């Protein structure tokens, strides 16, 4: 599990086909020094297992379902990926509970510069709208963000300069595809109410 507070970005340095899967190698100086084989790392909000690593690089295998259902279908050498190590029981919870299980991908509609930071509008699928509330949390490319506004078929998030500097959000433009994970608490509540009614 993760918190959505991005700790580093990594550059994709190689992508190799493994039939219907991909092998992706990332470089992020010093970030992987405490990682070992099998450890989980959030890559743009997708929980992936380390296949091999040094202090500065790590390799991950992306199965075909992961590729097809995430923004990694557009992975390319040179792209930046948001990185976060899993939280511990004593971790400071600066964001919200992020599982690393992407619900969908969506598209940036527009990026609007403000005097401080930017506003980003993104399309949002109708089947996820019920999990999203104004002032609630959402994970976009693994970043824990607050929903500033909720519209009929889109949402708006407001980004501070610190987040822009530390994440790949600084490269987002209209048309950028990003990973979305809605707040898991809403899913559990919905499931509980459904199961209760069936009991």
CATH number where 117 lies:
2.40.30.20
Which of 20, 174, 173, 166 has the alpha carbon at shortest distance from 80?
166
Last residue of a domain, one of 51, 84, 117: 84
- Give the pLDDT mean for 183-190: 87
Last residue of a domain, one of 31, 55, 84: 84
Mark whether 77 and 115 lie in a shared domain: no
Report the number of distinct structural domains present in the chain.
2
Q: At residue 113, does pLDDT exceed 80?
A: yes
**Residue 68 belongs to some domain of the structure:** yes
- Give the pLDDT mean for 151-159: 96
For the segment 54-88, what is each residue's pLDDT rounded down to a tens digit? 999 999 999 999 999 999 999 999 999 999 999 87
> Whose structure tokens read 């990694």?
72
Q: At residue 168, does pLDDT exceed 80?
A: yes
d(CA 159, CA 105): 19
For the segment 100-109, what is each residue's pLDDT rounded down to a tens digit? 999 999 999 9
- The token duo for 135 is 């002032």
**Residue 167 belongs to some domain of the structure:** yes
Which range marks the domain in which residue 69 is found? 8-84
Q: What is the pLDDT of residue 199?
A: 65
**Residue 44 belongs to some domain of the structure:** yes
Q: Residue 63: left if φ>0, alpha if ψ -120 to 50, beta else—which one?
A: beta
**Residue 80 belongs to some domain of the structure:** yes
For the segment 15-58, what is each residue's pLDDT rounded down to a tens digit? 999 888 999 999 999 999 999 999 999 999 999 999 999 999 99
**Residue 94 belongs to some domain of the structure:** no
How far from each other are the two terminal CA atoms of the chain, in whole angstroms?
A: 30
């Amino acid at each position: 599990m993760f918190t959505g507070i991005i700790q580093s970005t990594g550059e994709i340095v190689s992508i190799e086909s493994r039939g219907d899967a991909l092998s992706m190698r990332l470089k992020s100086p010093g970030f992987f020094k405490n990682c070992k084989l099998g450890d989980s790392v959030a890559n743009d909000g997708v929980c992936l297992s380390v296949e091999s690593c040094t202090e500065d690089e790590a390799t991950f295998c992306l199965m075909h379902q992961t590729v097809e259902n995430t923004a990694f279908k557009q992975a390319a050498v040179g792209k930046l990926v948001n990185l976060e190590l899993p939280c511990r029981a004593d971790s400071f919870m600066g964001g919200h509970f992020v599982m690393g299980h992407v619900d969908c991908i969506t598209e940036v509609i527009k990026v609007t510069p403000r005097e401080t930071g930017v506003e980003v509008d993104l399309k949002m699928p109708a089947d996820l709208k019920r999990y999203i509330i104004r002032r609630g949390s959402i994970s976009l490319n693994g970043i824990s963000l607050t929903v500033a506004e909720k519209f009929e078929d889109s949402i708006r998030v407001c980004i501070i300069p610190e987040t822009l500097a530390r994440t790949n959000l600084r490269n987002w433009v209209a048309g950028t595809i990003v990973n979305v994970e809605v707040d898991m608490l809403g899913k559990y509540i919905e499931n509980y109410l459904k199961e209760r009614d069936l009991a």
